Amino acid sequence: MKNKIVYKEESYQIMGTCFEVYKEMGCGFLESVYQECLEVEFNNKGLPVKSQKLVSLKYKGQKLKYTFVPNFLCYEKIIVEIKAVSNLIDDRRSQVLNYLNASGINLGLLVNFGHHPKLEYERFV
């Protein structure tokens, strides 16, 4: 049985946009700058993306009153969390995994614009 990539086309579009922003801006800016640049590019490309949208948390199937705010919710089914740090560490990975586990969303992309000489990213299913 062949492994299927979850939301292949959608994540390809998202990551292409991230690469475009990194190519234009490079590394060294604050996360908020990349947040705004991505928002501009996602809108320019017409991708269905919500910036800083409140996402509900669940515990054993029950919706909690607490929420979390990922940088982006794309296609209503992909969490994109961005960072601007020298290297990704387990705390940042745990953040995305916790978002996925508590929300029921199946795919998270952790994207680091602070890494040099290239964009750093990881997929979590």
Q: What band does 61 get if pLDDT is binned at 50, 70 and 90?
A: confident
2-40: per-residue pLDDT in tens? 678 899 999 999 999 999 999 999 999 999 999 999 999
Residues 44, 89: contact at Cβ < 8 Å? no
Considering the domain delimited by 8-124, tell me its CATH architecture. 3-Layer(aba) Sandwich (3.40)
Angle formed at CA 23 by CA 78 and CA 73, multiple of 5 degrees? 15
124 strand-pairing partners = 108
Q: What band does 42 get if pLDDT is binned at 50, 70 and 90?
A: very high
Residues 49, 70: contact at Cβ < 8 Å? no
Between CA 114 and CA 31 the distance in angstroms is 8
Quick one: pLDDT at residue 1? Answer: 47
pTM of the model: 0.91
The phi, psi pair for 27, rounded to 5°, reads -105, 165
Quick one: pLDDT at residue 2? Answer: 61
Quick one: pLDDT at residue 57? Answer: 85
Residues 11, 123: contact at Cβ < 8 Å? yes
65-124: per-residue pLDDT in tens? 988 899 999 999 999 999 999 989 899 999 999 989 888 899 999 999 999 999 999 999
Residues 92, 110: contact at Cβ < 8 Å? yes
